Chains A and B, each alone.
Chain A
Amino acid sequence: MGARARYGFVVAAVLVAVLPLLLSNGYYQSVLVFIGINAIVALGLNLLMGYAGQISLGHAAFHAMGAYASGILTATYHVNPWLAMACSVVFASAVALVVGVPTLKLSGHYLAIATLGVGMIVSIVLVQWVSLTGGTSGLTDIPTLSVAGFPLNSDLRYYYLVWGVCLLLTLLSINLVNSRFGRALRAIHVSEVAAATCGVNVARLKLQVFVLSAAYAGLAGSLYAHYVHFISPERRFGFPFSIEAVVMVVLGGLGNIWGSLLGSGTVTALGEFLRQFGDYDVAAFGLILMLAMIFLPQGISGGLARITLRRRPAPTPAAPPQEVAHR
């Protein structure tokens, strides 16, 4: 990480530490927790979409796998919650591996279709496999996480857990894209043939990133389950959330790690705000997104970068989204 990125990270960490103390209202604190959980999903999906150039339309399914694996293991089988969380990450990753091996050998957008299918299957399983998932009535009594006997049972405590994890994953993601691995990823996004003739195993790399992004979504699902203590086949575990996650990544800025956090913050907060408009919230959401895409085609992070670049002499026209994260 360069000096500038390190500085940015410290600023973000301070902001994360102070923000909930300024917003002592429990509702706001819980919204911040959801922003953090969604940001973890968006971080993983951004590695896949913004760097490997592949789209997943079923990330809600991996999120659901994480949440339900944690929920079932702890509520039904009384497994230690941390162990259950680790299992849920492994489970989501393993399913991604099974889906990814045949589809990522092909170039093109086969992954998008395959993940769409996974999303549908998972939605149906959650409702129909009543003995395991609780069906439409869901799973209750998912226990609270605790650290060395100290329960994370308030919004504020859970906030620090979720955002600690989120910042850690942000750091790991930044490291990842600025390595040999990340350069190869960015290269296949531009030209798979050129990357392959440089010796990059394109199919394997895409598979690794896809599995990693599923692991992020699964971990976020587990964090969600232990926060709300009750999960059911809701919006969050179906197609709408898969799309929301894609929107977070695109709105935040494809190929910009910090953009995922901004995107999650914007989309999650906007969703909460628009709730008061009842059924019109979806329409309003769509309109805002359209405007954002017209005026901020490179996402929020790209827009911010353009403003800062404008102040410099000889700005590069139409700064591509990738360059921001690596400066």
Chain B
Amino acid sequence: MNLSRRSFLRAEGALLALPFLPSLAAADGLPPESAQPRKKLAIVYLPNGIVRRCFFPGEGHVDAPDFIGGFEADKIKHERRIKNTPGLHPLELTETLEPLAEHVADITLITGLDRSYKDGQDVHAQGASCYLTSVSPKMAADRGIAHPNGRTLDQVIGDAVGHATVFNTLEISCNGFTAPKEPIEFDNISWYGPGRIAPSIREPQKLYDRLFLRQGYRDHVADVTDLVLADAGSLARRLGREDRRTLDEFMEMIRGIERRIGKMDRLLIEADVRIPTQEVLPRGEYIRLQMDLMLTAFRMGITDVCTFMIGPERWDATLMYEGVFDQPVQHHEMTHNQKGDGFKQLQKIDRFHLEQYAYLIRRMKEIKESDGRSLLDHSLVAFGAGLGDGATHQFFDLPMILAGTAQGEVKQGRFLKMPSGTLNSNLWLSLARVMGLEIDSFADSTGVISELFA
């Protein structure tokens, strides 16, 4: 099937509905008629926490918590956390959650989840870079790793399911800051392993290039692979062991690109996708364009697993939120200035982010897969923050919303209150299991969250 006369993107950046393309489902080599749409997983990350008491139903009466932060917060979390009655509760929407009104039947709100914190790293840096880590602080300490940013959940799942797609995983960020202010830990939740970043792509055009390889480039790679591998071999002979390992990785990456091009060639001949322009988009449009590109990747079989940072942690520079504020604001600074009515300003950002999430869910409902069901029906979309509350920068009582049933496995439309202190890694383990991984533990998990399942 030739896609070349079709257009995926309208000028505004919204996706056109594509008819189902059997050849896409056949990317893994299965004959189209037997191909069952694969499950998709997206993990959307919110920076700088949320205004918790405006987010979860029934917490509105709580006073704005004082800033505690990081390690100190962790030590007294059992005194400070919000007591809840574990179990399943009907889902009501707070003011912050209102943008999800059209999706109440398709989401589950979860509270009571904690992360383990390892002292000695900035809370924001650890917040993002270790959000999905497979290495608990204790495991890191045992192995002498400074920061517990082990291979992340998306990579672990990608390892298992990525054979069917062009990329194991895709990493997207909506970092709209022009100033290179913060280290990489603040803008990347996906890591191949300790210190080995899976860099997130923040520019729509770069993302587009990553997804759609042009013919000239594919030919170039096919042409030079042998030469480049031979050069790597001759270079390796002159190097020490560490550097030879680096070169081995290089060669593996080259072969990976070659394999990917092979898969791509089977996927499509030439996708005539409108190239995003370089122009600076209003923040909402920018986020939605990145979401559209992610969905295109899901849709075309380019990947089944994607992490999506709706913004980077901290980054103390101002940013314009068109339609929300008249002036550029500093999200992180606002989390520290919530006294009086300050939190109401911050809540506007939370709501803005939920509007983007609502858009994503809506689009996933509209897009139909080969079996006539929606992309959302085949997917799981997690939406959460690494910090429980922006006011405290805490690592406990994390916010989480799950959307999609993953082919009927996950039950939706509920408010799930977990026993306080349930480890977030239990949720990650549960997601991995939904994606078909036969693993019994992930990081410091103690078991799956069985309440999720239908």
Task: Report whether chain A binds chain B.
Answer: no
